[in-house]
Structure 1
Amino acid sequence: MLIMTETPLETGIDDLISGCNLPSDWTVTLLPDDPLAVQLNGPASQTLLLLAGRQIITAERIEVLAIGYREKELDGEPIDHVLGALRTAKRPVILPWGAGKWIGPRGAKIAAWVENGLPQGVFLGDNGGRPIGFPQPTAFAKAAVVLPGSDPLPVSGCWRDVGRYGFHLPATIDPARPAQSIISALWDLDTQPKVIGRRVGFFTFLIRQIRLRLS
């Protein structure tokens, strides 16, 4: 399963639901009992589940990944309001690491949250773009759970990173309602799951950061 966290401007999940932008020879199976998930079927009997989510940028410019959430109205709102609304909806939240995102006042806010104990369903996020050998963020060492993801950059060729870094969630998945299974399992998660895959090397990281800023 891939967890998709789209910006308010992106329509990837909706495109797939309508049968657009499918890879050659792939088909879509809609899940009537689970509007937050889409099943893709490959020509060699592959099955790929996509779980909808939302990337939210708060008023403080802190990135929040809301799992199993598709509404757009929280973008640009204060962080406390965003987290409160997602907690009321019982949607897991990931606060992802990014180059330069956890410094200054933003970094201090993240550190304070971790020091005081993150609320249920709120996790720090690592990503495959953090280079191998790079110092681990201090907040990671103090957090009970860090969820890794591939989190590809919007740079040409980085789509190949999708699925290169993630985690194994020890949970039973209801095939009729896979999104709800994942949401419930993440909401109750309190121990570090097994990390799978690997991050990029430092040279690749550096080149990509340069290309990102030039674009």
Structure 2
Amino acid sequence: MSGSVTPVDWHVHAHRPGEMGAVLDSAAAAFARVNPRPASVLGVLMLTEMPGATAFAELAAPGGEPAGWSVRATEEDVSVVASRGSDEIVVIGGFQVTSAERLEVLALGTRVRPEDGQPAERVIAEVAGHGALAVLPWGVGKWLGARGAAVADLVKRLPPRAVFLGDNAARPVFWPEPAVFRVAAEQGIAVLPGTDTLPGAPPAAGAFGGLVPGAVDPRRPREALRRVLMDPAVSVTPYGSLASPLGFVRDQAMLRLRRLGGRR
């Protein structure tokens, strides 16, 4: 690759209180492999917090730094920079919500959580109204049938780059690329990959994501990323590995066991 790039994990979960230290440790190691000579920050984590999660608030609170890390504010209330030695990782707040159509919608770069159960188009409009990015992330079985048709309809009908699509590391290597990814590419809409780790799984932040060309301004990182993605000429290059068949089966089994136990 020529020129500088910034790796971004577009779908990051910290499922338990106090987990951000392990998330940052994971991200630092993963980003250093992808981006050994950063022009600015080592990489960016886009938090997608589930109901009840408080990772960003914990990180941004005075004295909330995980062991070994220091945290400083940016010029945005939705982002911070975590530092350890020469490593600097931007963390941007956001949420994962469920629409009336049972689609997952990521609201990236906002501190205002949209309500679950609204039509997806209304959620997307609300996210845009906060200057944030709306993403429809792929999930196992979640884009089949009527839900898959709803995703394709939104991508085709909404204005360009009103909504983005997401890929994640849980998609197994044998699973074909969703057809709607090609539709998005034809319209200049980026697919934004992220780790999307399951509850109980080891932190893997930074291991799967997308490379954004150039350096991200650590003073206003959300605005810098938003500006890049609004340019149809800019492409986001995926990095990292999709799930192995064994890993896919293990993760699905773990997810179903948790649901039987009454947890996500």
TM-score scaled by length of structure 2:
0.73
1:126 to 167, 173, 183: 167
Match of 2:256 in 1: 213
Secondary structure of 2:50's partner? Answer: coil
Match of 2:77 in 1: 35
**More relative contact order in 1 or in 2 (CA 8 Å, sep 6+)?**
2
Secondary structure of 1:125's partner? Answer: strand
Q: Percent identity, please.
A: 36
Matches within 5 A, 1:50-199: 50-116=91-157, 119-144=160-185, 145-157=190-202, 159=203, 161-189=204-232, 191-199=234-242
* Contact persistence 1:68–1:183 (CA under 8 A): no
- After superposition, what is the alpha-carbon deviation per residue over 1:21-80, rounded to whole angstroms, capped at 9, x for unaligned? 64422111122x2111111111x3211110111111112211111111121243221112
CA RMSD of aligned residues (A): 2.0
* Contact persistence 1:171–1:185 (CA under 8 A): no
Unaligned runs of 5+ residues in structure 1 are none
- After superposition, what is the alpha-carbon deviation per residue over 1:111-170, rounded to whole angstroms, capped at 9, x for unaligned? 22344466324111111111112222121222213111111112332x1x2111111112
1:150 maps to a residue whose letter is T
* Contact persistence 2:161–2:230 (CA under 8 A): yes
In structure 2, the CA distance between the partners of 1:73 and 1:131, relative to structure 1 (3 Å rule), is closer
* Contact persistence 2:110–2:131 (CA under 8 A): no
Q: Which moved more, 1:65-74 or 1:95-104?
A: 65-74
In structure 2, the CA distance between the partners of 1:119 and 1:176, relative to structure 1 (3 Å rule), is same
Secondary structure of 2:116's partner? Answer: coil
2:207 maps to a residue whose letter is R
Cα distance in 2, alignment partners of residues 172 and 121 from structure 1 = 24
- After superposition, what is the alpha-carbon deviation per residue over 1:1-33, rounded to whole angstroms, capped at 9, x for unaligned? 1111112311000001125664422111122x2
Secondary structure of 1:162's partner? Answer: coil
Q: Which moved more, 1:108-117 or 1:76-85?
A: 108-117
Match of 2:53 in 1: 10
Secondary structure of 1:143's partner? Answer: helix
Secondary structure of 1:40's partner? Answer: strand
* Contact persistence 1:27–1:41 (CA under 8 A): yes
TM-score scaled by length of structure 1:
0.88
Cα distance in 1, alignment partners of residues 162 and 232 from structure 2 = 7
Cα distance in 1, alignment partners of residues 76 and 156 from structure 2 = 36
In structure 2, the CA distance between the partners of 1:192 and 1:45, relative to structure 1 (3 Å rule), is closer
2:134 maps to a residue whose letter is V
